[in-house]
């Protein structure tokens, strides 16, 4: 009876241990690959200058639209997925500053998450909200100007859980013009 128990214990250990050892041997050069999907590693290498495609850029499209009642501005950008796989942009957030004075105007954020296929270009909508101080800045420093040069500062783009930061120059409508 003890021999049977020993044989069954050895079989159980072999059934559990052999697949684990096999997976570890197959991935011995990349043990992180067991926990992090290869696409995430590839994207991180591309963003860090690993010889892959450049980090995607936001290209402004059309004129920003301003809603006076809610003090919000709608910005549209085109985003080309330069990665060799499909991605989802979970969020984009950042601050808006007056380019001429470095004055904080408000925040912008992505309207809703967007999925983009490999080599596809999609239009993204960012919504911005001006602070009360920003409205005052427009009145005092940009009176009579139709548009104001602004910078999206610390624009954080979350793509498939990987975040990268960029800055972007834009032209926005003056809400008090």
- What pLDDT does 55 receive? 57
Helical ranges in the chain per DSSP H: 2-26, 38-47, 132-141
The phi and psi torsions of 36 (rounded to 5 degrees) equal: -110, 125
Report yes or no on 45 lying in a domain.
no
| Same-domain status, 99 and 151 | yes
Residue 43 within a domain: no
CA 32 from centre of chain: 23
Q: Is residue 54 over pLDDT 60? A: no
- Indicate whether 30 and 58 sit together in one domain: no
Q: How far is CA 41 from CA 83, 87, 161, 165, 168, in A?
A: 12, 13, 11, 18, 26
Does residue 87 sit in the same domain as residue 7? no
* 157 and 71 fall within a common domain: yes
Q: Which of 51-65, 128-142, 149-163 is least confident?
A: 51-65
Question: Residue 48: inside a domain, yes or no?
Answer: no
Domain of residue 12 covers 2-35
pLDDT digits (tens, 9 = 90+) for 59-103: 889 888 888 888 889 999 998 888 778 888 899 999 999 999 999
| Chain mean pLDDT for the chain | 84
Indicate whether 30 and 69 sit together in one domain: no
Tokens of 97: 């500053």
Q: Is residue 80 part of a domain?
A: yes
Largest CA distance in the chain: 97
Is the domain of 76 the same as that of 20?
no
pTM surpassing 0.75?
A: no
Q: Are residues 78 and 129 located together in one domain of the fold? A: yes
Structural domain count of the chain:
2
- The answer to whether residue 49 scores a pLDDT higher than 60 is no
pLDDT band at residue 162 using 50, 70 and 90 as cut-offs: confident
Same domain for 15 and 91, yes or no, is: no
Q: Count CA atoms closer than 13 A to 135's CA, side-chain side.
A: 14
* Residue 57 backbone zone (phi > 0: left; psi -120 to 50: alpha; other: beta): beta
Q: Is residue 42 part of a domain?
A: no
Angle, CA of 26, 32 and 36, to the nearest 5°:
110
CA atoms within 13 A on the CB side of 153: 13
């Amino acid at each position: 009876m003890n021999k049977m128990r020993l044989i069954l214990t050895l079989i159980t250990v072999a059934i559990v241990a052999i697949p684990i050892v096999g997976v570890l041997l197959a991935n011995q050069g990349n043990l992180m690959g067991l926990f992090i999907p290869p696409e995430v590693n590839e994207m991180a290498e591309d963003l860090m200058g690993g010889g892959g495609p450049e980090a995607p850029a936001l290209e402004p499209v059309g004129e920003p639209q301003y809603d006076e009642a809610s003090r919000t501005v709608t910005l549209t950008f085109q985003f080309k997925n330069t990665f060799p796989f499909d991605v989802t942009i979970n969020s984009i957030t950042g601050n808006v500053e007056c380019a001429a004075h470095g004055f904080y105007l408000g925040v912008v954020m992505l309207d809703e998450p967007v999925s983009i296929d490999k080599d596809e270009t999609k239009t993204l909508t960012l919504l911005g909200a001006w602070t009360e101080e920003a409205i005052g800045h427009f009145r005092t420093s940009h009176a009579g100007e139709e548009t104001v040069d602004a910078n999206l500062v610390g624009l954080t783009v979350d793509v498939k859980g990987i975040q990268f930061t960029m800055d972007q120059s834009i032209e926005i409508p003056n809400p008090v013009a």
